[in-house]
Amino acid sequence: MVDLREPDFTKTQDIHAFLFNVFGGCGCSELTPMVDTIKELLAWAGSDGMERTKWTRLGYNAGAYYILMGIMDNADLIDHGSAIRAPFLTDKGKSFLNALNKFAVEEIRKCPAEPSYDGLSYGVFEA
C-alpha cells in the first residue's frame, strides 16, 4: 500500500504504521531490536566527525548497512549527501528519532490501532 500522506510522529499509531510501511515490520517482528537499530543509525547519521564514516553499528556488515541506509534515504529520514557512507539526518529523520526516543517500544506496539500486514494509511483512525 502506498500512502502519500506524512505520518504524525506524535502519535504511536503513525510511528507503528511507519515501521510497518517503511521498514517492513509485521506482527511477528521483534520490534525492540528493530527500533534500537533504527535509533542507533539515525543518531549516528546526526552525529559529527569522522565517526560518521564507519558503520560499526552493524558489526561491519556492509550489505545490511547499505540496505538500511537506502531505506532511510528513500523514506527521507537521511540525506544521501555526497556518499551514503556519510549521510545527514533530515528534519523528518530528527522528528522520527525524537519520537522513537520519546515513546517506549511497548507503547508503540500497543498503540490504539494495530496496523495490518500490508500497511496502514496515516490518519485513518482520526476521530
pLDDT at 127 over 50: no
pLDDT at 75 over 80: yes
Q: What is the predicted pLDDT for the residue at 56?
A: 65
Confidence of residue 96 (pLDDT cuts 50, 70, 90): very high
Q: What is the predicted pLDDT for the residue at 91?
A: 96
Confidence of residue 36 (pLDDT cuts 50, 70, 90): very high
Measured CA distances, 68 to 29, 48, 53 (Å): 16, 20, 15
Question: How many whole angstroms separate alpha carbon 21 and alpha carbon 30?
Answer: 15
- Looking at residues 28-44, what average pLDDT do you find? 91
- Looking at residues 42-48, what average pLDDT do you find? 84
Domain boundaries, the chain: 12-22+29-108
pTM of the model: 0.83
